[in-house]
Amino acid sequence: MSISRFFCPQDHALGNALINWTGRPVQDLLVYAESYRAAACRLVHAHRDLKLNTPDHQVLPILYLYRHSLELFLKSIVYYSAILSIPESELVVALPRLWREHSLLRLHAMALPVLQATKYAAADAEYLGKNLLQMAAAIDDVDAGSYSFRYPVTSAGASSLPSHFLTNIFAFSDAMESLLDDSLVFCRGLGQDARVASRQMKLALHGLTSTNAA
């Protein structure tokens, strides 16, 4: 097996990590989503141990990691529905448009038909859909393009976030952990269930394959 090395001079050393080993990178969306979530969770625990009660810019990576994890979960829902609902010849057009989309609200709109058409005993799809919409709307209100938690200024030179932006990282983490738990259960089931393919989903995903889509 050929291995591409990046800052890894020794085999079997503490800290080595083998990435992209499955040979199915597109299907690793959930792996990536969970890895960003786990990193955020570890930072939250470390932040809690510091017992800080002052404004702290160290929360920005936490906000971004959770936001990106949620984006990947939403893309996973849309991806699994796309491969079940869209002819393989059209996926070449559809999937690049999915990867370029960063608005959580627009991704939720793509995922909504799947959430409405799917029933799992382990995951209430309707309840999950409402919670995803609530979180997507709250985050998109301040970070629709996935820039605000990464850069202090926009491309136009304005502030990325509102002045005096107050957040509680523990409250945010609690809400995200609960939501991402439910999302993980749903995505795992969706990836195994071909019955969700329906005319309703095909119509909802039409924008991904339309030649007029941006």
**Mean pLDDT computed over 7-12:** 88
The number of folded domains in the chain is: 1
- Is residue 9 one of the residues assigned to a domain? no
Residue 89 belongs to a domain: yes
Q: Which long-range contacts (CB under 8 A, 24 or more apart) does 194-200 make?
A: 194/84, 196/81, 196/84, 196/114, 196/117, 196/118, 197/81, 197/84, 197/85, 198/85, 198/113, 198/117, 200/113, 200/116, 200/117
With a CB cutoff of 8 Å and minimum separation 6, the contacts of 35 are none
Residue 98 lies in a domain: yes
On whether residue 137 sits in a domain, the answer given is yes
User: CA-to-CA distance for 173 and 47, rounded, in angstroms?
Assistant: 12
Domain of 184 in residue numbering reads as: 26-209
Residues 177-186, mean pLDDT to the nearest whole number: 94
Residue 5 lies in a domain: no
Residue 147 scores a pLDDT above 60: yes
Cβ atoms of residues 47 and 116 within 8 Å: no
What SS3 class is residue 198?
coil
Per residue in 94-136, pLDDT (tens digit) is 788 888 999 999 999 988 888 877 655 445 888 899 999 999 9
Question: Tell me: the pLDDT tens digits for 33-59?
Answer: 999 999 999 999 998 888 877 777 889
Give one DSSP letter per residue of 52-83, joined into a string. Answer: --S--GGGHHHHHHHHHHHHHHHHHHHHHHHH
What mean pLDDT do residues 174-202 have? Answer: 76
Domain-located, residue 14: no
pLDDT of residue 194: 47
Is 116 a member of any domain? yes
